[in-house]
Amino acid sequence: MRHLLGIDDLGRDGIDEVMALTDSFVEVSRRAIPKVPTLRGRTVAWLFYEDSTRTRLSFETAARRLSADTMNFSVGSSSVKKGESLRDTAQTIQAMGVDAIVVRHASAGVPWQLTRWLDCSVVNAGDGWHEHPTQALLDCYTLRHHLGSLEGRHIAIVGDVKHSRVAGSDVRAFAALGAKVTLVAPPTLLPASLAGWPVEVSHDLDAVLPEADVAYVLRMQLERQHEALVPSLREYTRTYGLTVDRARRLRPDALVMHPGPMNRGIEIAAEVAESSQAVIREQVSNGVAVRMAVLFLLLGSGRPDAHATADPVPTEVPLHG
């Protein structure tokens, strides 16, 4: 595996491989000294064009636990402010000798574009409204830990699917592992087209919750909503929020997940987020081990592409591409 751009690159076998490796890195993370020398001498750089707390810290912790060197880049204090292009910025970072670039960008497709410009590995840490594959992997790992297998399980993904790259990757990953996925959202918060999405759609959260093994609550992406997609946040909470009352409709063994950061009181009630059914903090801690597994597969395993089906072809790159 050379790059991790989207879940479809991995397929079911690839997801299984990451999950199995994650077990090993969970064990490493529990040691008194949670560090292995596996990526000694390798350098991983962050190219985050959007704010992030957990993803960036999680990748950084993962890289350090594998003994990789890390190179930080934040747009706010860089030459991007002087108008430097994405291509120049990425190639400048690569020229300093990095082995992998972890990128987050507000535009979908940026990680794919970077693979055409760069020789190093590229990891998608979130592109536009499109994909966030490592989040999906840590979600799968967390679910497998609790449910054993996802085969035949019913996962309800609730809320702002339209703006959610997490949903984009989760739907692909959950479906690849055999789960049934229902998107629960108002029509205005669903993508314009769901063609090719292996999902069912419902607008009635109360009806879906009793049948669900998992209620995966998405964040209302308030910063990405430039139009009035819901009448009001209060109205949204009343209809689609996982309130305390509504959470009672869940089976006692059902799980509640959220990719964070949470808008408490909007898409999820604080009491629900803190309940014993919620595995939200577990998602975060599993994220480190999952990202260790991903970085190891990209930089440490030294094997030829086992699962990468869509290694982008660096064909003739136009001068102004």
Partner 1 sequence: MDGDDVRRAIRRMAHEVIERNHGVADVVVVGLQTGGVPLAEALATALTEIDGHDVATGALDVAFHRDDVGLRPIMPEAVTDIPVDLTDRIVVLVDDVLFTGRTVRAALDALGGFGRPRAIQLAVMVDRGHRELPIRPDFVGKNLPTRRDELVDVSLDAVLLGELDG
- Of the pair 23, 119, the CB lying nearest partner 1 is at 23
Hey, what's the torsion of the CAs at 220, 226, 227, 228, to 10 degrees? Answer: 30
Backbone angles phi, psi at 175, to 5 degrees: -65, -40
CB contact at 8 A, 259 and 135: yes
CA distances from 79 to 83, 93, 124, 136, 313 (A): 7, 12, 22, 32, 29
Q: Kindly determine how many residues on this chain lie close enough to bind partner 1 according to the rule CB under 8 A.
A: 20
- Given the residues 42, 65, 104, 172, the one annotated as active site: 104
Q: Among residue numbers 55 through 84, which ones bind partner 1 (CB under 8 A)?
A: 66
CA-wise closest residue to 44 among 290, 289, 291: 291
Contact pick of 159, 186, 287, 300 for partner 1 (by CB under 8 A): 300
Give the gyration radius of the chain's Cα atoms: 20
Based on the shown chain and the rule CB under 8 A, indicate whether residue 32 belongs to the binding site for partner 1: yes
Token pair 């596996």 is at which residue? 38
Binding residues: 54-55, 82, 104, 132, 135, 165, 219, 260-261
User: Per residue, what are the HEC states of 92-150?
Assistant: HHHHCCCCEEEEEECCCCHHHHHHHHCCCEEEEEEECCCECHHHHHHHHHHHHHHHCCC
Q: Which of 8, 11, 12, 34 binds partner 1 (CB under 8 A)?
A: 34
Residue 97's region, left for phi above 0, alpha for psi from -120 to 50, else beta, is left
CA atoms in the 13 A half-sphere facing the CB of 35: 10
Residue nearer to partner 1 on the CB measure, 3 or 163: 3
List the one residue from 2, 3, 38, 236 that touches partner 1 (CB under 8 A).
Answer: 38
In the residue annotation, 163 being an active-site residue is answered as no
| Residue 55 annotated in active site | yes
Q: Which of 22, 38, 43, 55 is catalytic?
A: 55
| Residues β-bridged to residue 215 | 156, 256
Cβ nearer to partner 1, comparing 197 with 296: 296
- For residue 100, the minimal CB distance to partner 1 (Å) is 14
Judge residue 19's burial from the number of C-beta atoms within 10 Å of its C-beta, 0-12 exposed, 13-18 middle, 19 or more buried: middle
The position carrying tokens 């930089």 is 299
List beta partners, residue 268.
Answer: 242, 264
- Bridge partners, 284 (sequence order): none
Whether 104 is a known active-site residue: answer: yes
User: Which residue of 33, 95, 96, 228 would you call a contact of partner 1, by CB under 8 A?
Assistant: 33
- Active site (annotated) includes residue 303: no
Q: Return the residue of 13, 31, 53, 261 that touches partner 1, per CB under 8 A.
A: 31
Spot the catalytic one: 130, 132, 172, 291: 132
Q: Which of 20, 57, 106, 310 binds partner 1 (CB under 8 A)?
A: 20
Interaction between residue 192 and partner 1 (CB under 8 A): no
Q: Which of residues 126-185 bind partner 1 (CB under 8 A)?
A: none
Residue 270 to residue 264: CA distance in whole angstroms:
5
Stretch that binds partner 1, among 135-143, 188-196, 279-287, 293-301 (CB under 8 A): 293-301
**Interface with partner 1 includes 281 (CB under 8 A)?**
no
Please identify which residue in 35, 234, 248, 251 interacts with partner 1, judged by CB under 8 A. Answer: 35
Active site residue 82: yes
Catalytic residue numbers, as ranges: 54-55, 82, 104, 132
Residues forming the site for partner 1 (CB under 8 A): 20-21, 23-24, 27-28, 31-38, 66, 296, 300-303
